[in-house]
Amino acid sequence: MNGRAPTLEDVAREAGVSRATVSRVINGIPTVDPAIREAVRQAVERTGYAPNRAARSLVTRRTETVALIVSGAGDVSGEERNAFTTKVFADPFFGRVVTGVVDYLRPRSMHPLLMFADSAQTRQQALNDLRQGSADGALVVSTHADDPLPALLADAGLPAVLFARPSRPVPLSYVDLAHRDGARMAAEHLLDRGCRRIATVTGPLGVSASQDRLAGFRDTMARRGHPYVPVAEGGFTFDSGMAAMSGLLAEHPEVDGVFAANDLMAQGACQVLRERGRRVPDDVAVIGFDDSSAARACRPPLTTVRQPVEEMASVMARLLDEHLRGARTEPTSVIFDPELVVRESA
Amino acid sequence: MNGRAPTLEDVAREAGVSRATVSRVINGIPTVDPAIREAVRQAVERTGYAPNRAARSLVTRRTETVALIVSGAGDVSGEERNAFTTKVFADPFFGRVVTGVVDYLRPRSMHPLLMFADSAQTRQQALNDLRQGSADGALVVSTHADDPLPALLADAGLPAVLFARPSRPVPLSYVDLAHRDGARMAAEHLLDRGCRRIATVTGPLGVSASQDRLAGFRDTMARRGHPYVPVAEGGFTFDSGMAAMSGLLAEHPEVDGVFAANDLMAQGACQVLRERGRRVPDDVAVIGFDDSSAARACRPPLTTVRQPVEEMASVMARLLDEHLRGARTEPTSVIFDPELVVRESA
DNA sequence: CCGACGTCATAGAGCGCTCTCCCATAGTGC
DNA sequence: GCACTATGGGAGAGCGCTCTATGACGTCGG
């Protein structure tokens, strides 16, 4: 209280033992006499001692912190950058990632350090921060397929785990979804309910998840006798979903089923369809992807392909933790299975 | 490269100077001969040196990190807790806060450390982490009026700045919005456009922002000859907006104007109105609060009271930074003015 | 030619913790 | 009773950095 915070030394003096013993008690090392342990406990209580993180990190070389890096692709800057962070968090997807990561970290008294890397400069900064030991490792969520960050991290030998398989192979662990399977489920569901004029609104094709979903969708459609599928590219936003649907409707007014690569775009599509007097699902069936909370909330509730984002993010954090503890050395990938959630829109 | 990372010592040897000189160059202290400075720069380059954060923190007593604490009220636990983080990030509001905070921190090479404090235990943990020096200070976003965290932080003498005025006075700086003024604008706009049967959907009344908005709305309505205003309490979610609107409609079918305390609930209200065959804004005018991105995206685009969340969050970060640097010592509050954004819904 | 002074660099003392020895004490077997 | 092993506490050497006090080396006025 008198100016500076109590240190181990203070507690040791108070308890009448050595610094080392106090350290042992604090760190739960069992080879300490119960009586002494208790005495130390009380001394800690009395002094209001809290171990100094920096000092501990200095010697353990661990910070008990992991960086959660939201990584864009190219060289965004200024106003556009702001748009980046805004857009990132407008999508409920990232909230779910954060939730999952926190779920894993919290019980282990670890915290995520939030970083954005959406330009060469900020990417370098993130890399630097990591090299300086701001965090023990990184969890990377890329918004673009050719994100250079994973390779940079791997080259620098920094422990990192990715959300989604990198476009070029990188010796890092990652979690991902079987996007093709998800798209297949969507296609089959639309076909099974009798749709015959089926179109798709893809995500930005610079994202490999978008490509996989498109590929999976097309494959299934082709196999089921629909080699040609009208495609409109969206940007994973509500607005882009509206725009894509408008375009689709203009060129293919007879459309009776739509697979959108995420829920936000599916909602945008529903919006446009409603405005044009089409009933969902009676005139046009719409199916989304993600199973975000909005999918259940919106009208009609969205039939969608569930992606267990929170779970995936938790596993991502677990993989990193295992790498950090040395419990895992080889890059590993964990692929999750999607699940079709049938509600009212299709 | 050979095992351990290069240290100041290594760079010093490489450059043929002392550790202290390298330190000076790294920290940009001007009293260094340009030639030597350059020599050191090159040595840093060659060795690939990155200063060790922990060692630096240990002596400077600064981490260049601030905690961003999302703080709930009571004793949430287990499943409910998960719901907490999920709900928190489902609301675009928090994304905007993060954006604003990051905008301020990033140019200063600082990062936010994400923490959740939604139970007595996690609150204690956050407090402990702060006392241990995990972060230099805290930015607190409370989701509930009687959040005990601000007082705990103040008592512990930890630097902190709040988003929103605490319900009981606490000697901490905060940023807030003139909620009453915002609600007044909403009321006046509805009245001016001719609405006469006006109701309001409030936020959870445990949140002081909700109470202020309600109070401001009622005051203005009363002053303009409408002493009685139908009120339904919502929970800031889309669903709760729907529920509240349903209730309102059941009891007051003649309603022709609605003020919802946030955009999400306004959207929910629109949804219900549309389902009941009321046109927005022709039959019922709806006005929201926040001006979230969805307000512009949804149909009809929402007339709403703009809350400059990003800016507020930036200023919150700036206030904390000033406190940390000692540039500001007294608790300060910065109140932002809301702004009416007229679109189509009212 | 000498002392005073400014300019920079160096030496070295920590910051608060962990962790490896090492030693004291006490128990064990023969 | 003696060597021998547990068992548990203490001493002290760092971890890599910052920063103060100190000193080397001109330069310049007198």
- pLDDT tens per residue across span A230-273: 999 999 988 899 999 999 999 999 999 999 999 989 999 998 99
Cβ B344 vs Cβ B301: under 8 Å: yes
Contact partners, residue B90, CB within 8 Å, separation at least 6: A92, A95, A293, A294, B237
Rounded to whole angstroms, the Cα distance separating B154 from B37 reads: 43
B276 touches chain A (CB under 8 A): no
Q: And the tokens for B239?
A: 């669903």
B146 touches chain A (CB under 8 A): no
A264 touches strand C (CB under 7 A): no
A335 touches chain B (CB under 8 A): no
How confident is the model over A72-85, as a mean pLDDT? Answer: 57
Nearest to B103 among A82, A92, A128 (CB): A82
Say if the Cβ atoms of A54 and B57 lie within 8 Å.
yes
A86, A96, A103: which to substitute to probe chain B, counting the most B Cβ within 10 Å? Answer: A86
- What single-letter amino acid sits at B151? A
Q: Give the global pTM.
A: 0.90
Contact partners, residue A109, CB within 8 Å, separation at least 6: A64, B125, B129
pLDDT (tens digit per residue) in A165-203: 998 899 999 999 999 999 999 999 999 999 999 999 999
Cβ A190 vs Cβ A153: under 8 Å: no
Q: How much of chain A exceeds pLDDT 90, in percent?
A: 72
pLDDT (tens digit per residue) in B16-44: 888 888 899 988 888 788 888 888 899 89
**Residues of B in Cβ contact (< 8 Å) with A54:** 54-55, 57-58, 61, 63, 133
**How many CB atoms within 10 Å of residue A322?**
16
Nearest partner of A112 among B98, B324, B52, B49, judged by Cα: B98
Q: What is the pLDDT of residue A231?
A: 97
Rounded to whole angstroms, the Cα distance separating B83 from B147 reads: 18
Say if the Cβ atoms of B96 and A89 lie within 8 Å.
yes
**Please, which residues 17-56 of chain A have a Cβ atom closer than 8 Å to chain B?**
50-55
Cβ A283 vs Cβ A211: under 8 Å: no
Nearest to B102 among A90, A114, A299 (CB): A114
- What single-letter amino acid sits at B105? L
A311 touches chain B (CB under 8 A): no
Cβ B236 vs Cβ B264: under 8 Å: yes
**Please, which residues 78-107 of chain B have a Cβ atom closer than 8 Å to chain A?**
82, 85-86, 88-90, 92, 94-96, 98-99, 102-103, 106
Q: What is the pLDDT of residue B1?
A: 41
Find the length of chain A: 346
| Chain-centroid distance, C-alpha B318 | 13
Question: What is the DSSP code (8-state) at residue B159?
Answer: -
Helix (H) or strand (E) holding A259: strand A257-260
The CA distance from A55 to the nearest CA of chain B, in Å, is: 6
B124 touches chain A (CB under 8 A): no
Decide: residue A329, CB within 10 A, 0-12 exposed, 13-18 middle, 19+ buried.
exposed
Q: What angle do CA A105, A59, A52 make, to 5 degrees?
A: 65
Q: Is pLDDT above 60 for B164?
A: yes
